Structure 1
Amino acid sequence: MHNVIQLLPDSIANQIAAGEVVQRPASVVKELLENSVDAKAKSIQVIIREAGRNLIQIVDDGLGMTETDARMSFERHATSKIRTSDDLFRIRTMGFRGEALASIAAVAQVEMRTRRADDELGTLIRIEGSDIKAQESISCLPGTNLLIKNLFFNVPARRNFLKSNSVEMRHILDEFQRVALANPEVAFSLFHNDQEIYNLPAGKLSRRIVDMFGKNYREQLNFCEEKTPYVTVHGYIGKPESAKKARNEQFFFVNNRYIKHNYLHHAVVGAYEGTLPEGSHPFYVLFIEIDPSHIDINIHPTKTEIKFDDERSVYAIMMAAVRKAVGLYNLSPSLDFDSDVNFLSGARPGSAPAGPASKTPDSGSLPKPITPSWATDKAASRPASSPATERPSLRNESLDRAAGSSFDMPRSSASTRSSVNNWQALYEGVAGADTPARTESTPEPTGDWLGPAQTPPPLAEQPVTLSSRANQLQVPVETDESAVPVGVEGDNIMQLQNRYLLAPVKSGMVLIDQRRAYERILYDQFHSALTKRSGSSQQLLFPKTVTLSPVDCQLALDLRDDLMSLGFEFDELGQNTLVIRGVPALTTGENEEELFANLLAQIRVDTGRLKLDRVESMARSLARRSSQRHVSRLSVTERKALIDQLFASTNPSYTPTGEPVTVVLTLDKIAGLFR
Structure 2
Amino acid sequence: MERVHVLDPVIQNKIAAGEVVERPSSIVKELVENSIDANATSIEVFIEESGLKMIRVVDNGEGIDDRDSRLIFERHATSKIAEDYDLFEIRSMGFRGEALASIGAVSKATVESYRKDRQPFKLEYSGGREVNYTDGKSRVGTVVTIEDLFFNTPARYKYIKSLQTEAGRIIDIMQRFSFNHPHIQFKLAFDGKVRFHTKGNGNLQEVISDVYGLNVARHSVKVEAKTPDYKLSGFIVRPEITRSNKNYINLAINSRIIKDFRLVQSVVEAYHTLLPKDKYPVVILNIDMDPKLVDVNVHPAKTEVRLSKLKELQQLIEQTIREELRSERLIPEIEAREKTEKPVMTQNVFDFSSRPVFDNTFNEYKRENIFSNKEGKTQNNFDFNTEKRDEVSYVNTPIEEHMSHSRESYDDYNDSKLPYLEIVGQIHGTYIVMQNDEGMYLMDQHAAQERIKYEYFYENIQNSDERVPLLLPYHFEFSYDDVIRIDEKLKDLKALGFNIEKTGIKQYTVTEYPSWILKDDPEGDIESVIDFISNTDEFSVNKYREEMSIMMSCKQSIKANHYLDLTQMRALLKDLSQCKSPYTCPHGRPVIIKWTTYEIEKMFNRIMK
Shorter-chain TM-score tier: 0.5 to 0.7
Task: Find the counterpart in structure 2 of residue 262 from structure 1.
Answer: 261
Task: Find the counterpart in structure 2 of residue 375 from structure 1.
Answer: 392
Task: Find the counterpart in structure 1 of residue 228 from structure 2.
Answer: 229
Aligned residue for 2:19, secondary structure, equals helix
**Structure 1 range deviating more: 44-53 or 258-267:** 258-267
Matches within 5 A, 1:599-614: none
Task: Find the counterpart in structure 1 of residue 18 from structure 2.
Answer: 19
2:171 aligned residue (173, 180, 193):
173
User: What is the rounded CA distance, in whole Å, between the counterparts of 1:321 and 1:165 in structure 2?
Assistant: 40
Residue 497 (structure 1) shift:
10
Task: Find the counterpart in structure 2 of residue 560 from structure 1.
Answer: none
Task: Find the counterpart in structure 2 of residue 130 from structure 1.
Answer: 128
Question: Structure 2: where are the runs of 5+ without partners?
Answer: 333-357, 395-424, 432-478, 481-516, 525-550, 556-587, 590-609
Task: Find the counterpart in structure 2 of residue 302 from structure 1.
Answer: 301
Matches within 5 A, 1:349-368: 350=363, 368=384
Task: Find the counterpart in structure 2 of residue 279 from structure 1.
Answer: 278
User: What is the rounded CA distance, in whole Å, between the counterparts of 2:143 and 2:367 in structure 1?
Assistant: 69
Task: Find the counterpart in structure 2 of residue 55 from structure 1.
Answer: 54
Task: Find the counterpart in structure 2 of residue 64 from structure 1.
Answer: 63
Across the aligned residues of Structure 1 and Structure 2, the Cα RMSD in angstroms comes to 3.8
Task: Find the counterpart in structure 2 of residue 293 from structure 1.
Answer: 292
Aligned residue for 1:277, secondary structure, equals coil
Task: Find the counterpart in structure 2 of residue 525 from structure 1.
Answer: none
1:312-336 Cα shifts (integer Å, max 9, x gaps): 1111111121122112223489xxx
Cα 1:3/1:54, change in 2 over 3 Å? closer
Task: Find the counterpart in structure 2 of residue 320 from structure 1.
Answer: 319
Letter of the 1:391 partner, please give it.
H
Check the 8 A contact 1:253/1:259 in 2, yes or no.
yes
1:173-209 Cα shifts (integer Å, max 9, x gaps): 1111111211110001111111110121112111111
Matches within 5 A, 1:585-600: none
Task: Find the counterpart in structure 1 of residue 116 from structure 2.
Answer: 117
Letter of the 2:108 partner, please give it.
Q
User: What is the rounded CA distance, in whole Å, between the counterparts of 2:112 and 2:14 in structure 1?
Assistant: 23
Matches within 5 A, 1:143-158: 143-158=141-156
User: What is the rounded CA distance, in whole Å, between the counterparts of 2:291 and 2:322 in structure 1?
Assistant: 26
User: What is the rounded CA distance, in whole Å, between the counterparts of 1:374 and 1:214 in structure 2?
Assistant: 50
Cα 1:63/1:9, change in 2 over 3 Å? same
Matches within 5 A, 1:483-562: none
Check the 8 A contact 1:231/1:290 in 2, yes or no.
yes
Task: Find the counterpart in structure 1 of residue 607 from structure 2.
Answer: none
TM-score, length-normalised on structure 2?
Answer: 0.57
User: What is the rounded CA distance, in whole Å, between the counterparts of 2:303 and 2:391 in structure 1?
Assistant: 53
Residue 29 (structure 1) shift:
0.4
Cα 1:369/1:315, change in 2 over 3 Å? farther
User: What is the rounded CA distance, in whole Å, between the counterparts of 1:307 and 1:192 in structure 2?
Assistant: 35
Aligned residue for 1:375, secondary structure, equals coil
Task: Find the counterpart in structure 1 of residue 566 from structure 2.
Answer: none
Letter of the 1:375 partner, please give it.
V
Task: Find the counterpart in structure 1 of residue 86 from structure 2.
Answer: 87
User: What is the rounded CA distance, in whole Å, between the counterparts of 1:474 and 1:357 in structure 2?
Assistant: 45
Residue 57 (structure 1) shift:
0.3
Letter of the 2:428 partner, please give it.
R
Cα 1:36/1:375, change in 2 over 3 Å? same
**Structure 1 range deviating more: 94-103 or 138-147:** 138-147
Letter of the 2:36 partner, please give it.
V
User: What is the rounded CA distance, in whole Å, between the counterparts of 1:348 and 1:12 in structure 2?
Assistant: 80
Cα 1:328/1:165, change in 2 over 3 Å? same
Cα 1:214/1:346, change in 2 over 3 Å? farther
Letter of the 2:56 partner, please give it.
Q
Aligned residue for 1:240, secondary structure, equals coil
User: What is the rounded CA distance, in whole Å, between the counterparts of 2:85 and 2:368 in structure 1?
Assistant: 74
Task: Find the counterpart in structure 2 of residue 218 from structure 1.
Answer: 217
Residue 170 (structure 1) shift:
1.1
User: What is the rounded CA distance, in whole Å, between the counterparts of 2:363 and 2:76 in structure 1?
Assistant: 81
Residue 32 (structure 1) shift:
0.3
Check the 8 A contact 2:25/2:166 in 1, yes or no.
yes
Q: Is residue 139 of structure 2 the alignment partner of residue 141 of structure 1?
A: yes
User: What is the rounded CA distance, in whole Å, between the counterparts of 2:33 and 2:307 in structure 1?
Assistant: 23
Cα 1:299/1:374, change in 2 over 3 Å? farther
User: What is the rounded CA distance, in whole Å, between the counterparts of 1:156 and 1:107 in structure 2?
Assistant: 10
Residue 115 (structure 1) shift:
0.3
User: What is the rounded CA distance, in whole Å, between the counterparts of 1:213 and 1:356 in structure 2?
Assistant: 52
Task: Find the counterpart in structure 1 of residue 191 from structure 2.
Answer: 193
User: What is the rounded CA distance, in whole Å, between the counterparts of 1:150 and 1:373 in structure 2?
Assistant: 79
Residue 164 (structure 1) shift:
1.5
Residue 391 (structure 1) shift:
2.8
Residue 161 (structure 1) shift:
2.8
How many pairs align? 385
Task: Find the counterpart in structure 2 of residue 663 from structure 1.
Answer: none
Task: Find the counterpart in structure 1 of residue 428 from structure 2.
Answer: 391
Residue 393 (structure 1) shift:
8.2
The percent of aligned pairs where both chains have the same amino acid is 33
Task: Find the counterpart in structure 2 of residue 78 from structure 1.
Answer: 77
Task: Find the counterpart in structure 2 of residue 311 from structure 1.
Answer: 310
TM-score, length-normalised on structure 1?
Answer: 0.52
**Structure 1 range deviating more: 36-45 or 245-254:** 245-254
Cα 1:331/1:9, change in 2 over 3 Å? same
Check the 8 A contact 2:87/2:297 in 1, yes or no.
no
Check the 8 A contact 1:38/1:93 in 2, yes or no.
yes
Aligned residue for 2:240, secondary structure, equals helix
Aligned residue for 2:40, secondary structure, equals coil
Task: Find the counterpart in structure 1 of residue 408 from structure 2.
Answer: none
Check the 8 A contact 1:26/1:172 in 2, yes or no.
yes
Check the 8 A contact 2:80/2:94 in 1, yes or no.
no
1:505-533 Cα shifts (integer Å, max 9, x gaps): xxxxxxxxxxxxxxxxxxxxxxxxxxxxx
1:437-462 Cα shifts (integer Å, max 9, x gaps): xxxxxxxxxxxxxxxxxxxxxxxxxx
Letter of the 1:86 partner, please give it.
Y
Check the 8 A contact 2:45/2:189 in 1, yes or no.
yes
User: What is the rounded CA distance, in whole Å, between the counterparts of 2:244 and 2:137 in structure 1?
Assistant: 52
Cα 1:208/1:137, change in 2 over 3 Å? same
1:241-289 Cα shifts (integer Å, max 9, x gaps): 1122322211110000111122122222222213222222111001101
Task: Find the counterpart in structure 1 of residue 416 from structure 2.
Answer: none
Residue 68 (structure 1) shift:
1.9
1:365-396 Cα shifts (integer Å, max 9, x gaps): x994799998389xxxxxxxxxx9983789xx
User: What is the rounded CA distance, in whole Å, between the counterparts of 2:96 and 2:222 in structure 1?
Assistant: 35
Cα 1:138/1:330, change in 2 over 3 Å? same
Matches within 5 A, 1:396-545: none
User: What is the rounded CA distance, in whole Å, between the counterparts of 2:318 and 2:128 in structure 1?
Assistant: 48
User: What is the rounded CA distance, in whole Å, between the counterparts of 1:40 and 1:66 in structure 2?
Assistant: 15
User: What is the rounded CA distance, in whole Å, between the counterparts of 2:140 and 2:367 in structure 1?
Assistant: 70
Aligned residue for 1:98, secondary structure, equals coil
Letter of the 2:92 partner, please give it.
T
1:589-624 Cα shifts (integer Å, max 9, x gaps): xxxxxxxxxxxxxxxxxxxxxxxxxxxxxxxxxxxx
Letter of the 1:179 partner, please give it.
F
Check the 8 A contact 2:54/2:145 in 1, yes or no.
yes
Check the 8 A contact 1:124/1:137 in 2, yes or no.
yes
User: What is the rounded CA distance, in whole Å, between the counterparts of 1:102 and 1:280 in structure 2?
Assistant: 41
Residue 470 (structure 1) shift:
5.9
